Amino acid sequence: MNRAHQTLDLAAAGVPFPAISHARFNVGDVVRHRVFDFRGVIFDVDPVFANSEEWYQSIPEDVRPPRDQPFYHLLAENAESSYVAYVSQQNLLPDDSDEPVDHPAISGLFDELVDGRYQLKREHRH
> Which pTM was predicted?
0.81
Question: pLDDT value at position 124?
Answer: 73
Question: pLDDT value at position 77?
Answer: 98
**What type of residue is 82?**
S
Question: pLDDT value at position 8?
Answer: 47
Architecture of domain 20-124: Roll (2.30)
SS3 category, 31: strand
In whole angstroms, give the CA distance from residue 50 to residue 22.
16
Triad 119, 123, 124: Cα angle to 5°: 60
Domain extents for the chain? Answer: 20-124
Dihedral of the alpha carbons of 61, 66, 70, 73, in degrees to the nearest 10: 10
Question: pLDDT value at position 122?
Answer: 87
Mean pLDDT by 10 residues, the chain (126 residues): 45 56 93 97 96 95 94 97 97 95 97 93 79
- Cβ atoms of residues 113 and 100 within 8 Å: yes
